Structure 1
Amino acid sequence: MILFPAIDLKDGQCVRLKLGDMDQATVYSTDPGAQAKAFEDQGFEWLHVVDLNGAFAGTSVNGAAVDAILKATKNPVQLGGGIRSLEHIENWLNRGLSRVILGTVAVRDPGLVIEACKAFPGKVAVGIDAKGGKVAVEGWAEASELGVIELAKKFEGAGVSAIIYTDIDRDGILTGINWESTLALADAVSIPVIASGGLASMNDIRRMLEPDAAKLEGAITGRALYDGRIDPAEALALIRAARS
Structure 2
Amino acid sequence: MAEVRTLVITGNGTNCEKESAYAAELAGADSATIVYFSDLIAGRCRVEDYNFLIFPGGFLDGDDLGAAQAAALRWKFAETREGTPLVDQLRSFFNAGGLILGICNGFQLLVKLGLLPAVGGKYFERQVSLSHNDSAKFEDRWVHLKANPKSPCVFTKGLDILEMPIRHGEGKLTAKDEATLTALMDDELVALQYAHPATGEPTQEYPFNPNGSPFGIAGLTDPTGRILGLMPHPEAFNHPTNHPAWTRGARPTLGTVLIENAVKYIKSR
User: Is TM more than 0.5 here?
Assistant: no
Q: Which has the higher strand share?
A: 1
Q: Structure 1 length as normaliser, TM-score?
A: 0.38
Answer with 1 or 2: which has the greater Rg.
2
Q: Which has the higher helix share?
A: 1
